[in-house]
Structure 1
C-alpha cells in the first residue's frame, strides 16, 4: 500500500535538480552525464506522447520518477506505451511508490489509446510480475557510441 502522503504529478522544469540524482543512480549500462540530462530534461517535460512523472513527499522532496512514451505500431494495430525509466529512491522502495507511478502510467497509456504497456527490466522482474506484467521478449541493444 503506497504511503498516502506521497503524490504523483507531472514533472515540472524546476524538478530537474531533484530528479538528476535518481536518474544518475538508475543507470547500470551507461553513466549519465549531467550536461546531457540538463539538455534532455526540458525536451521531455510537457511533450505530447511523453509522460514524465515524479513522486513527491508532502515536504516537496522527489523520491521517484517515471518516464514513458507512446508510439504507433503495426503489431498492436495502433499505439503502444513504453516505460523507459522507473526509479524510486532506495530509502523509499517497498513503500508502494513504484506501484503508484505504474498505475498512473497505465491510466495515461489507456487515455492515449495504447493497446498495451511494455518495459525492459534488468533488476526488477519480480516487482513487475506482481503487477501482472509478463515476461514477453528478450531485450537486445547495441551501443552506438
Structure 2
C-alpha cells in the first residue's frame, strides 16, 4: 500500500456503520450495542474536546481512533488521551495505525496538549517505535453491567 492509497481524516456521520463494525472487533471486555453506539457517535463528532479519526483505504474505513483533550491540575494544562484505536484485521502493519496516531498528535498539539497517554496491553513494539513509553499500570473497576469476564 502506498501513502496515496491511505487517507486519514476526521470521521463523518456517514462513517458510522463502518466504525461500528470496527468497535465489535476492538472490544474485548464489553459488547458494543448498536443503540448505545448510535446515541454516542453524533455526540462525539460534535464534542470539541474529542477527536474521531478514520483511516480510509480505497474508500473504506479500515481503522479509527477516538481521543480526547482534557484539563489537568498536575500537568499545568491540557493532556490528551487515546480511548480507542484499532486497525481492521488484514490491514495491520500497513501504516494505518501510525497515520492515525500522528494525526491525533497534530490535533493534540494544536489544542496545547502536554502529552498523549493510552492504556493497552496490545502491540507494545508498535507504540515503542512511535516513541511512546510505558509509564504505569492500568487499573479499572467496571461500574456498568455488560462487561465480559
- TM-score computed with the length of structure 1 as normaliser: 0.95
Q: Which residue of 2 aligns with 1:123?
A: 122
Residue number in structure 1 paired with 2:66: 67
- Unaligned 5+ segments in structure 2 are 145-149
Shift of 1:127: 1.1
CA distance 1:2–1:114, shift in 2 (3 Å)? farther
Cα shift at 1:2: 6.2
Q: Describe the superposition over 1:11-68 as per-residue Cα deviations: whole angstroms up to 9, x where unpaired.
A: 011110111110111011111111111111111113201100011123x200000000
The question of whether the paired residues in 2 share the 8 Å contact of 1:55 and 1:62 is answered with: yes
- 1:133 is paired with a residue whose SS is coil
What is the correspondence of 1:8-23 to structure 2 with a 5 Å cutoff? 8-23=8-23
Q: Spell out, residue by residue over 1:62-100, the C-alpha distance to the aligned partner (whole angstroms, 9 max, x if none).
A: 000000001111111000000001010111000000000
CA distance in 1, matches of 2:41, 2:132: 28
CA shift for structure 1 position 4 = 2.9
Which residue of structure 1 lines up, in the alignment, with residue 94 of structure 2? Answer: 95
How many angstroms apart in 1 are the aligned matches of 2:48 and 2:2? 28
Aligned length, in residue pairs: 144
- Tell me the equivalent position of 1:41: 41
Instruction: Provide, for residues 91-124 of structure 1, a one-character-per-residue CA deviation record: whole Å limited to 9, x for no partner.
Output: 1000000000000000100000000000001212
| TM-score, normalised with respect to structure 2 | 0.92
Give the Cα separation in 2 of the matches to 1:2 and 1:68: 26
Superposition CA RMSD, Å: 1.2
5+ long unaligned stretches in structure 1: none
